[in-house]
Amino acid sequence: MAIRTILHYPDKRLRIPAKPVERFDDELRALVEDMAETMYAAPGVGLAAPQIGVSLRLFVIDVAIADDAPSELRTFINPEFIEHVGTVCYEEGCLSFPGIHETVDRAERVRVRAQDVNGETFELEADGLLAIAIQHENDHLEGKLLVDHLSLLRRRLVHRAMMKRASADAEAVG
């Protein structure tokens, strides 16, 4: 297992729609393990493969956020939404937007069909933080980002903040 580098906005790779997973093998299982380790180290509750530069329709989520709570790690491969119900506003963060938290409108409840690491299909109905996380991570698979849910003014402010961060990071490296 290895901790992977998380891409930060404005990296253009975050905008590329991901390709379906076709091979369910040891390489895929190793990728899922790396993603989980990367997510926990960040720390976050979800991570999509495009966030680590892998253009595959895959994300991991663990909404057990209390330190003493047992892991609820879930893997979603080639997910598709079956149903969206209601609307809820939720303050979200994103590992590709460090330090940024914005209120986003999402479906209150979702039903999703996906595959696990063995290629077995499952369906899940989710609400609360799990439903929010599923929608957020699935956006990454489509090349859609947190800023795309914001007003033009908020989008510009977040863009400026992230550009300033990218510039500071580049100066620190070089």
Active site residues: 137
CA 159 to CA 164: how far, in whole Å?
A: 9
State residue 126 phi and psi, 5-degree precision.
-135, 150
Element (H, E) at 152: helix 152-173
CA 17 to CA 139: how far, in whole Å?
A: 9
CA 97 to CA 38: how far, in whole Å?
A: 15
Q: Are strands 88-93 and 101-106 parallel, antiparallel or unpaired?
A: antiparallel
